[in-house]
């Protein structure tokens, strides 16, 4: 039987960490829960230590690491054959781990993921049944990589929805920290080359839309430029999975997003100028 580690890298996550950890510990499965406190200055450490559960391991960095280094260290400290990384403001829905473990017991699968829902800062449901466009059931590594490049991180789903193999993570060198926004799906495409992908039919994770998470604090320009770099690296790293056409379609999607953002900002600017003259 394969072992699994759920890794929670946490930086000043006192507002949400308790709900995140509780959603994991309520799963009916055997696993290790590794919480890596990235030198937080709030109540993150105290909240993690408040759970009297033998499955919980807590580690703390002496200084705050960049996100890529922190996530890589969290996985490095884990002991499971399988790994799931859950951001400290996201949650797992009931039954998520058992369903995913049932799939990943088969060594033919390199990675699996599920659909997801969006919750707000208070944890209330905003939208559900999102993610995995065209990736339901058994899919090839090529189908996974093409979808990630053509549709982008937001369409695929959050880190918490996925599970991968530690040996593949080590083999590809882990997360690439200079790609903050697409860092997780960039990894998923690379580890996915070693086997099949399985898209679970249900909604098994929730991504929190908030004013305090990293996604909200990352500019649109940074997200687009990081995604562009990710596309062109991936086609070099896994050329048997991606074609120049896949990259061109992904780049075109980014260009359309940039133009739409420019249109909106131009409209806001002109509207403010007109209002100022009235």
Q: Write out pLDDT tens, residues 145-193.
A: 999 999 998 899 999 999 999 999 999 999 999 999 899 999 999 999 9
Question: Given the structure tokens 């659909």, which residue do they identify?
Answer: 115
Question: Given the structure tokens 């604090």, which residue do they identify?
Answer: 217
Report the C-alpha gap between 139 and 15 in whole angstroms: 37
Report the C-alpha gap between 181 and 166 in whole angstroms: 22
pLDDT range class, residue 210, cuts 50, 70, 90: confident
- Domain range annotation of the chain: 4-218
Which residue spans within 120-216 are E strands per DSSP? 125-130, 137-139, 163-165, 196-208
C-alpha separations of 77 from 7, 50, 166, 236, 259 in Å = 9, 21, 11, 29, 42
CATH class of 4-218: alpha beta
Nearest 5°: phi and psi at 214?
Answer: -65, -35
In this structure, what token pair is assigned to residue 219?
Answer: 């500019």
pTM: 0.90
What average pLDDT does the structure give for the chain? Answer: 91
- CB under 8 Å to 47, separation ≥6 — which residues? 13, 14, 17, 18, 21
Q: Note the pLDDT tens digit of each residue in 16-53.
A: 999 999 999 999 999 999 999 999 999 999 999 999 99
**Mean pLDDT within 101-113:** 97
Report the C-alpha gap between 276 and 17 in whole angstroms: 44
């Amino acid at each position: 039987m394969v072992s699994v580690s759920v890794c929670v890298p946490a930086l000043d996550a006192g507002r949400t960490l308790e709900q995140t950890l509780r959603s994991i510990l309520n799963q009916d499965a055997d696993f290790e829960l590794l919480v890596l406190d990235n030198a937080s200055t709030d109540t993150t450490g105290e909240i993690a230590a408040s759970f009297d559960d033998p499955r919980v391991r807590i580690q703390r960095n002496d200084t705050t690491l960049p996100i890529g280094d922190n996530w890589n260290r969290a996985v490095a400290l884990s002991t499971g054959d399988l790994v799931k990384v859950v951001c400290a403001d996201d949650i797992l829905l009931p039954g998520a781990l058992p369903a995913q473990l049932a799939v990943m017991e088969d060594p033919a699968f390199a990675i699996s993921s599920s659909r997801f829902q969006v919750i707000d800062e208070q944890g209330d449901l905003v939208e559900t049944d999102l993610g995995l466009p065209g990736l339901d059931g058994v899919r090839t590594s090529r189908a996974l990589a093409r979808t990630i490049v053509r549709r982008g991180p937001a369409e695929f789903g959050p880190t918490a929805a996925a599970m991968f193999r530690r040996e593949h993570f080590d083999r590809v060198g882990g997360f690439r920290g200079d790609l903050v926004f697409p860092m997780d799906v960039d990894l998923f495409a690379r580890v996915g080359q070693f086997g099949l992908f399985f898209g679970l039919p249900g909604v098994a994770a929730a991504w929190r839309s908030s004013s305090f998470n990293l996604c909200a604090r990352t500019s649109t320009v940074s997200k687009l430029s990081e995604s562009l770099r990710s596309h062109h690296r991936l086609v070099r790293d896994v050329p048997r999975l991606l074609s120049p056409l896949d990259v061109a379609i992904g780049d075109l999607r980014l260009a359309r997003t940039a133009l739409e953002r420019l249109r909106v900002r131009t409209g806001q600017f002109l509207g403010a100028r007109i209002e100022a003259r009235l």
